A and B are shown apart, each in its own frame.
Chain A
């Protein structure tokens, strides 16, 4: 017999007070030993007839094996069944999720390992390794950094020192389509701030931010080295010379 608990729990699931009472009554009625059996018996009866009696009726039922249940009990049982299903779904989802997370971490680590092996565990290549990780993932995942720290024997704090020192590194995922506007001096005198305003208006995000759908991220840079085109917007590595608002919209729409 199940022990009486202050917080009634049914196969790991919290029950409402009414459900718990119902369960206790069912257990008594069937005189069963396990909770699962109670439920199974209940479901069995449910399958036999759509109309189960209320709890007193059920008690009667256990005596004379006659099924004349009330609709309320059947509803309760149906609800219980649904909740069990829901619970098992949650268990499955959590399991999948954990597996997904584990798989992701394993993937990240194996990718990082490939990069590390390229440099032969040389700790002076730290910046290059971080750059490769950044190129590979578009950002620096924390797990990868921890792995690098352990593999190279470099303290994590030192890795974060470098990762936060440079603007080129991102500790947050970047948008799928990186957009940047050159703010170099040659572009500045040719009106780069005005271009940046236009891009902000179209993308509706500020420099350093990522759009909500994770599609775009906006950054400023200092001179990609094509001053004759200035002011320049760079989208996915393509250069656009002083685009109008309309042209920016077209370029952005083409990315989607």
Chain B
């Protein structure tokens, strides 16, 4: 494929791709992490073989796509343009789908999604209750894109935002748009991306760096992975636009080594973009140079912290440093470095293309746009969802998530991973909003949501998260290394039925010190699980300490004592 040397070249290519695809049906098979674990590879092979066999090769294209979001029902097969959605498909079902739906245009009834509430079969994807309340501005394109094909992304209007920024806007205008849109960092802090960009832009120094933070060390979170795996070019396009606004010519995509599929997809995406002239020297003939490099790292939890991540890119162990001077001014090799999360970057092309008004039209006063949230734990529809900011948690769990399985009662929702906090059932009407959830003691973090029912013990959950954090702390500063460890010791004691009077107060005291004196956000927010579980579930702590009883029957020692 020749290099694209102007915006017109890009438009021409887009028309060409669209013409090629005209009148063709598309079979899009989810092939993300969950899908693969459930045999989606075999389904894709079966489709290719069967379509060949039935002589439909010229009329149907098979796409191996990233996650569509509905993990619980994967593998999902979506027939486009009719949007017929088959769930939990097996390789044996493929011949029937090909002969009935693809050849004759009829629907295979038994593979459709059945609404558990009304027992109705639903044909169209958009009408499934799981998808209906969502607004999949960022994630939605996943289902149309074969993960290895840049053409699919271009066909959907990909890289037009880059062309617009490069040829019709100055870097200042791009920056102003992002500032006006009030795009806040999706990685956890919720810091306005525009302000961060501006600091890096204005920082002294010729060489500046931009980074995509795709670390995602949080257990129970799979947003960034799904986005990067499903639609890598949207992130890349955002990165290039950001680099243009900031005045950077080198970028890094920071990825964890343990997702080889994602690494493969991103490597391919980078190579394709370079081939088309969308990356490298003289992008689209505009004179702007930018190259991006994949940085594959191991990443323990603390590596997601910006200064630790940058130390890791330099080749040292990921230990955070005091941030009297922000990384935006002095980051990798003491040069100004702007770091944003995958989801934040993916929002950039949308804002440039659709405009600031479109973006600010979604969401609440302080939090604009949509948020990708991973729903996991004891919930019927485990999956990846994207909702406008401001949707209540109740809607999230009952309308989209389909409620709690096995007729159990919801006890709490744990938001934001190990550094987040819990929201009890009584506060479920809180909206998904950076500030409101922060005040409730459960910062949204990157957006992982773990639903807990009555069989989960909140003391055990706090203990679990601290156990996780003691292993993930880098050990550089004492309040974090020792504080979390001592808190864990006390929690272990409580869970084993040896809790003492005053332990809860002691926990609160150590939490306070760790919060105030730790070097980085990991130590400062590590006591969050303890704080928030004590705040909302003090009665459970009391039962453990005073009555030596675990109300949920989770803590092993206690249950044994109780029975004997």
Contact = CB atoms under 8 A, between A and B. Distances in A.
With a 10 A CB-CB cut-off, give which of A123, A124, A131 has the most chain B CB atoms.
Answer: A124
Nearest to B457: A189
A186 B376 contact: yes
Contact of A226 (B33, B295, B312, B314): B33
Interface in A187-240: 187-190, 221-230, 232, 238-239
Contacts of A187: 219-220
Contact of A225 (B259, B314, B378): B259
A228 B452 contact: no
B34 interface: yes
A14 interface: no
A189 B456 contact: yes
A167 interface: yes
B25 interface: no
Interface stretch (A19-27, A48-56, A80-88, A158-166): A158-166
A123 B33 contact: no
A228 B34 contact: yes
Interface in A145-187: 158, 161-162, 165-169, 182-187
B129 interface: no
B452 A227 contact: no
Interface stretch (B357-365, B461-469, B512-520): B461-469
A126 interface: yes
Given A124-B315, A166-B298, A225-B225, A185 B417 contact: yes
Contact of A168 (B226, B298, B316, B451): B298
With a 10 A CB-CB cut-off, give which of A124, A183, A226 has the most chain B CB atoms.
Answer: A226
B498 to A, nearest CB: 19
B34 A229 contact: yes
Interface residues of B, number: 51
A128 interface: yes
A125 interface: yes
A227 B374 contact: yes
B315 A168 contact: no
A228 B37 CA distance: 10
Interface in A92-138: 123-128, 131
A162 B312 CA distance: 10
A228 B382 contact: yes
Interface residues on A, range: 35 or more
A239 B37 contact: yes
Contacts, number: 118
B153 interface: no
A223 B474 CA distance: 19
B452 A189 contact: yes
B300 A166 contact: yes
B71 interface: yes
A239 B33 CA distance: 10
A127 to B, nearest CB: 6
B418 interface: yes
B376 A230 contact: yes
B211 to A, nearest CB: 14
Contact of B220 (A167, A169, A221, A223): A223
Given A124-B313, A226-B71, A229-B37, A189 B450 contact: yes
Contacts of A127: 297-298, 312, 315
Contacts of A165: 300, 317-318, 474
B437 interface: no
A213 B485 CA distance: 35
B72 interface: yes
Nearest to B262: A225
B252 to A, nearest CB: 11
A186 B450 contact: yes
Contact of B257 (A126, A131, A190, A223): A131
Interface string B212-231: 00000111111001100000
21 contacts: A124-B313, A124-B315, A131-B257, A131-B298, A162-B316, A167-B300, A168-B258, A182-B219, A184-B219, A185-B377, A185-B417, A186-B376, A221-B258, A222-B301, A223-B220, A224-B258, A224-B259, A225-B225, A226-B222, A229-B38, A232-B37
Given A225-B259, A229-B34, 19 more contacts: A124-B313, A165-B318, A167-B471, A168-B298, A185-B219, A185-B461, A185-B464, A186-B450, A187-B219, A187-B220, A189-B377, A189-B456, A222-B217, A224-B258, A226-B34, A227-B222, A228-B72, A229-B37, A232-B37
Interface of A: 123-128, 131, 158, 161-162, 165-169, 182-190, 221-230, 232, 238-239, 241
